[in-house]
Protein backbone atom coordinates (compact mmCIF):
# COMPACT_ATOMS: atom_id res chain seq x y z
CA UNK A 1 0.00 0.00 0.00
CA UNK A 2 2.81 2.43 0.89
CA UNK A 3 4.61 1.77 -2.41
CA UNK A 4 1.42 2.42 -4.40
CA UNK A 5 0.89 5.70 -2.53
CA UNK A 6 4.49 6.79 -3.20
CA UNK A 7 4.20 5.94 -6.91
CA UNK A 8 0.91 7.84 -7.15
CA UNK A 9 2.40 10.84 -5.33
CA UNK A 10 5.48 10.89 -7.57
CA UNK A 11 3.29 10.62 -10.66
CA UNK A 12 1.25 13.59 -9.52
CA UNK A 13 4.37 15.65 -8.81
CA UNK A 14 5.90 14.89 -12.20
CA UNK A 15 2.65 15.64 -14.01
CA UNK A 16 2.59 19.11 -12.44
CA UNK A 17 6.20 20.03 -13.23
CA UNK A 18 5.51 21.31 -16.77
CA UNK A 19 2.91 23.69 -15.33
CA UNK A 20 5.61 25.22 -13.14
CA UNK A 21 7.88 26.00 -16.07
CA UNK A 22 8.17 29.67 -16.99
CA UNK A 23 6.21 30.88 -19.99
CA UNK A 24 7.87 30.85 -23.37
CA UNK A 25 8.68 34.06 -25.21
CA UNK A 26 6.35 35.27 -27.94
CA UNK A 27 6.92 38.37 -30.09
CA UNK A 28 4.51 41.19 -29.29
CA UNK A 29 1.45 41.33 -31.53
CA UNK A 30 -1.22 43.85 -30.56
CA UNK A 31 -4.12 41.83 -32.00
CA UNK A 32 -3.02 38.66 -30.18
CA UNK A 33 -2.56 40.68 -26.96
CA UNK A 34 -6.05 42.16 -27.21
CA UNK A 35 -7.65 38.79 -28.08
CA UNK A 36 -5.45 36.70 -25.77
CA UNK A 37 -5.65 35.56 -22.18
CA UNK A 38 -3.30 36.33 -19.27
CA UNK A 39 -0.81 33.64 -20.33
CA UNK A 40 -0.67 34.92 -23.91
CA UNK A 41 -0.03 38.40 -22.56
CA UNK A 42 2.72 37.14 -20.26
CA UNK A 43 4.56 35.64 -23.23
CA UNK A 44 4.47 38.99 -24.99
CA UNK A 45 5.32 41.01 -21.86
CA UNK A 46 8.82 39.53 -22.04
CA UNK A 47 9.25 40.92 -25.56
CA UNK A 48 7.79 44.31 -24.61
CA UNK A 49 10.23 44.65 -21.72
CA UNK A 50 13.34 43.16 -23.32
CA UNK A 51 13.08 45.25 -26.48
CA UNK A 52 11.69 48.41 -24.84
CA UNK A 53 8.92 48.41 -27.44
CA UNK A 54 6.87 51.10 -25.71
CA UNK A 55 9.64 53.54 -24.81
CA UNK A 56 8.49 57.09 -25.54
CA UNK A 57 4.94 56.10 -26.53
CA UNK A 58 2.00 58.20 -25.36
CA UNK A 59 -0.92 56.93 -23.28
CA UNK A 60 -3.11 56.97 -26.39
CA UNK A 61 -0.59 54.83 -28.29
CA UNK A 62 -0.32 52.36 -25.40
CA UNK A 63 -4.09 52.06 -25.13
CA UNK A 64 -4.35 51.42 -28.88
CA UNK A 65 -1.79 48.59 -28.59
CA UNK A 66 -2.76 47.03 -25.23
CA UNK A 67 -6.33 48.14 -24.64
CA UNK A 68 -7.60 49.65 -21.42
CA UNK A 69 -5.49 48.76 -18.37
CA UNK A 70 -6.84 46.58 -15.58
CA UNK A 71 -5.72 49.18 -13.05
CA UNK A 72 -4.44 52.70 -13.58
CA UNK A 73 -3.33 55.95 -12.07
CA UNK A 74 -1.68 59.00 -13.62
CA UNK A 75 1.81 57.50 -13.84
CA UNK A 76 1.25 53.72 -13.97
CA UNK A 77 -1.03 51.43 -15.92
CA UNK A 78 -1.28 47.78 -14.89
CA UNK A 79 -2.24 44.76 -17.01
CA UNK A 80 -2.84 41.34 -15.42
CA UNK A 81 -0.68 38.54 -16.82
CA UNK A 82 0.00 34.91 -15.87
CA UNK A 83 3.60 33.76 -16.06
CA UNK A 84 3.51 30.87 -13.59
CA UNK A 85 0.70 28.86 -11.95
CA UNK A 86 0.69 31.07 -8.84
CA UNK A 87 -0.50 33.94 -11.07
CA UNK A 88 -3.90 32.28 -11.30
CA UNK A 89 -4.21 32.71 -7.52
CA UNK A 90 -2.05 35.74 -6.70
CA UNK A 91 -1.88 38.90 -8.84
CA UNK A 92 0.90 39.01 -11.42
CA UNK A 93 1.13 41.99 -13.69
CA UNK A 94 2.96 44.07 -16.24
CA UNK A 95 3.06 47.76 -15.41
CA UNK A 96 3.66 50.58 -17.86
CA UNK A 97 5.23 53.63 -16.18
CA UNK A 98 4.64 57.11 -17.57
CA UNK A 99 6.67 60.26 -17.02
CA UNK A 100 4.46 62.61 -15.03
CA UNK A 101 5.55 65.66 -17.06
CA UNK A 102 5.57 64.36 -20.64
CA UNK A 103 2.97 61.60 -20.26
CA UNK A 104 5.18 59.25 -22.27
CA UNK A 105 6.32 55.75 -21.35
CA UNK A 106 9.51 55.75 -19.33
CA UNK A 107 9.58 52.04 -18.57
CA UNK A 108 7.78 48.71 -18.31
CA UNK A 109 8.12 46.18 -15.50
CA UNK A 110 6.57 42.91 -14.34
CA UNK A 111 5.65 41.54 -10.95
CA UNK A 112 5.20 37.81 -10.38
pLDDT at res. 7:
42
Residues of the chain with pLDDT under 70: 1-23, 88, 112
Q: Where are the domains of the chain?
A: 23-111
Cα distances from 3 to residues 6, 7, 9, in angstroms, run 5, 6, 10
The distance from CA 93 to its chain's CA centroid, rounded to whole angstroms, is 5
Tally the residues of the chain. 112
Please, which residues bridge with residue 72 across strands?
77
Task: From the options 1.10.730, 3.30.1450, 2.40.128, 3.40.50, give the CATH code of 23-111.
Answer: 3.30.1450
pLDDT in tens, 47-64: 999 999 999 999 999 999
Report the predicted TM-score, pTM, of the whole model to 2 decimal places.
Answer: 0.76
pLDDT at res. 111:
81
Amino acid sequence: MKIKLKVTTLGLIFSLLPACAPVTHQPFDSKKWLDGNRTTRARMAIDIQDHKLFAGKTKIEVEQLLGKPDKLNNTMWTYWIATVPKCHVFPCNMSVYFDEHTGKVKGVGSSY
